[in-house]
């Protein structure tokens, strides 16, 4: 098993609660269309939460038998988290493309999309924690997704349309989640078949 026991660790992406805006220092905006966005602090926090959640898929695949109820339940919970996060990701990208015409800092639908993404991801990681004997201190905190999306929208909302479009595409590329089957795990590794040796003459 590749993940026998993880050390005690609490990963916190960023401190922030809906709908607080402007409490954190915003990254400096890029001004050219050729370099629409860098992997700044905001995006790196989103990627960190994504990568940490992905590791829980590896833990589930390395721990549960592929035909067990635990494996199937973990798969279902991750599918829900994947769908809800993808919806949040697309919503933020759309807001960046639309600029000031889509004010997500006061949009109740954005709050709902963010809540669904956060809760489903936490449900998935909690389930894997409880069923693999991992320490309860190990948590992934993605409750700041609302603020992170708003920070990115504020950064690009006043830019030219071409710059916003390029930034939105770069954001989607950098923060996209993998689906369950794209994530590696011991349960998906096929055993190497040994080539049978030819029988010696006269042997049965």
State residue 143's pLDDT score: 67
* pLDDT at residue 142 in the model: 66
Q: What is the pLDDT of residue 141?
A: 52
Query: What confidence score (pLDDT) does residue 134 get?
Result: 65
pLDDT in tens, 81-106: 999 999 999 999 999 999 988 889 89
Q: Rounded CA gap, 168 and 89, in Å?
A: 10
DSSP string, 36-99: -----HHHHHHHHHHHHHHHHHHHHHHHS-TTSHHHHHHHHHHHHHHHHHHHHHHHHHHHHHHG
Q: Which residues of the chain, if any, have pLDDT below 50?
A: 1-39, 137-138, 140, 187-198, 201, 204
């Amino acid at each position: 098993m590749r993940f026998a026991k993880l050390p005690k660790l609490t990963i916190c992406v960023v401190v922030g609660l809906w709908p607080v805006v402007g409490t954190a220092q915003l990254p400096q905006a890029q001004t050219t269309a050729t370099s629409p966005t860098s992997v700044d602090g905001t995006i790196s926090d989103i990627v960190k939460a994504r990568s940490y959640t992905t590791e829980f898929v590896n833990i589930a695949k390395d721990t549960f038998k592929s035909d067990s109820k635990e494996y199937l339940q973990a798969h279902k919970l991750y599918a829900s988290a994947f769908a809800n996060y993808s919806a949040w990701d697309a919503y933020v990208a759309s807001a960046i493309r639309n600029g000031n015409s889509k004010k997500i800092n006061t949009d109740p639908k954005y709050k709902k999309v963010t809540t669904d993404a956060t809760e489903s991801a936490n449900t998935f990681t909690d389930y894997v924690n409880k069923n693999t004997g991992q320490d309860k201190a190990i948590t992934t905190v993605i409750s700041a997704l609302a603020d992170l999306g708003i920070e990115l929208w504020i950064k690009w909302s006043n830019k030219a349309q071409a710059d916003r479009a390029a930034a939105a595409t770069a954001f989607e590329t950098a923060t996209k989640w993998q689906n369950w089957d794209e994530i590696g795990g011991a349960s998906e590794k096929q055993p190497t078949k040994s080539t049978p040796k030819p029988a010696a003459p006269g042997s049965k």
